[in-house]
Amino acid sequence: MAQKPETRKEEIVRTAEMLFKKKGYSAVTMRDIAQAMGIKAASLYNHIQSKQQILSEIIIKIGEDFTEGMAEIVAAELTSIQKLEKIIGLHVKITMKNPSRMATMNNDWMHLEEKIDYYLQLRRNYEESFRQILKEGIEKQELKAVNPEIILFSILSTLRSLYLWIPKKEDINQEDLLQTLSKVLLKGIVK
Amino acid sequence: MAQKPETRKEEIVRTAEMLFKKKGYSAVTMRDIAQAMGIKAASLYNHIQSKQQILSEIIIKIGEDFTEGMAEIVAAELTSIQKLEKIIGLHVKITMKNPSRMATMNNDWMHLEEKIDYYLQLRRNYEESFRQILKEGIEKQELKAVNPEIILFSILSTLRSLYLWIPKKEDINQEDLLQTLSKVLLKGIVK
């Protein structure tokens, strides 16, 4: 199958992602991005308005992918445990596809300017949907009656750190990781 | 009980920690630290050699606290599950005491210069001790036969993120957090 060729703009975003991951958003200049691509800084501006626009495209795209995935999960006819498995799957899938984007989202979201409120809203809504699934699960006695804030924090910390860990485990298979992670996060490790 | 008065050096480190947490190590100058203390930058150097020395004191101190705590746990006559509970307790205790230091360790360890190899060695040894406890637990059938790398990653991600979460939950009690977190991490959330 022929892959769609990368547009110049996609190449800029991909190069920026790599540099943001390595040095952090603040330390990267438009000139660095141009240099890494072997072109002049001025020609970047034919494709993109600013470094801020690149950051915003990276983070908002991922934020919206999570929002969309969560909306499908919330709407599905599933038990709360099945919904939690789907959430774990969503994080594994998005992170395995874009570990650098996840790094940028995690490390540099606070450098968003115009879009920061929108990003924080997406994030709050995501956490709120997650919290509701946990509360429902506790109510229906599918989950243990444990403080849902601690469950939310604990599971999300692991899922949000996947980008740090996955690139070091190149031999790992998406399906195996999902199965094992679901087991560990949902059923614990004590025999 | 009378508390020991803070030395000038301790005040410098505490102020630096706060600024590092807020703006990141790279963006903070010795002048910023002096200004926040209402003194001249030159007088900082009576107490401390450099910004690098401050960073190094913060991170190495915490790294050694974890190393010491882990050595005690490893040496104790306990089941692997009890050892894991002790590890969770170690993270809760150190993080509740120093959330800003934990933030600096997590965000700025890569800016260590002379001490970076020592820091990474402490970190690797810590993870290796943790891994051995998991492997022993699996061998003795106290823990489920699950890939220990995934358990290690999953539990450590949560424990290393505590500094992000604890300061927002000021009403939380150390003993409650420890109990609930142990339950969630070790026994899971499925009823």
ipTM over 0.90: no
Residue B10 included in any domain: no
- The alpha-carbon gap from A53 to the nearest alpha carbon of chain B, in Å, equals 22
Cα B13 to Cα B53: distance, rounded to the nearest angstrom = 10
The label of the residue with tokens 């599950």 reads B81
The pLDDT score that the predictor gives to residue B168 is 76
Q: Say whether B184 and A151 touch across the interface (CB within 8 A).
A: yes
Cα A121 to Cα A133: distance, rounded to the nearest angstrom = 18
**CA closest to B151 among chain A residues:** A184
Determine phi and psi for A48, rounding to 5 degrees: -150, 145
The pLDDT score that the predictor gives to residue A178 is 93
A124 CB near a chain B CB, below 8 Å? Answer: no
| Contacts for A92 with CB less than 8 Å, ≥ 6 apart | A162, A174, A177, A178, A181
Parent domain of A80:
52-187
The label of the residue with tokens 């963006």 reads B27
Residue B28 included in any domain: no
Q: Say whether A143 and B189 touch across the interface (CB within 8 A).
A: yes
The pLDDT score that the predictor gives to residue B5 is 85
B151 CB near a chain A CB, below 8 Å? Answer: yes
The label of the residue with tokens 């995690």 reads A106
Which residues of A fall within a CB distance of 8 Å from B180? 146-147, 150
Cα A95 to Cα A118: distance, rounded to the nearest angstrom = 21
Instruction: Tell me which residue of A70, A63, A99, A66 sits closest to A177, measured CA to CA.
Output: A99
Residue A20 included in any domain: no
Q: Say whether A177 and B26 touch across the interface (CB within 8 A).
A: no
Q: Say whether A184 and B149 touch across the interface (CB within 8 A).
A: no
Residue A17 included in any domain: no
Residue B132 included in any domain: yes
Residue B6 included in any domain: no
**pLDDT beneath 50: ranges in chain B:** none
CATH number, domain at B69?
1.10.357.10
Helix, strand, coil in percent for chain A, rounding step 5? 75, 0, 25
Domain tally for chain B?
1
Residue B39 included in any domain: no
Which residues of A fall within a CB distance of 8 Å from B142? 190-191
Q: Where are the beta strands (DSSP E) in B31-175?
A: none
Under 8 Å between Cβ of A85 and A182: yes
* Interface mutation vs chain A, best among B127, B150, B166, B173, most A CBs within 10 Å: B150
Residue A19 included in any domain: no
Instruction: Tell me which residue of A31, A7, A29, A8 sits closest to A20, measured CA to CA.
Output: A29
**pLDDT beneath 70: ranges in chain A:** 1-2
The pLDDT score that the predictor gives to residue A23 is 87
Q: Say whether B144 and A26 touch across the interface (CB within 8 A).
A: no
DSSP string, B80-106: HHHHHHHHHHHHHHHHHH-HHHHHHHH
The pLDDT score that the predictor gives to residue B2 is 61
**Tokens standing for residue A92:** 């594994």
Chain centroid to CA A143: how far? 26
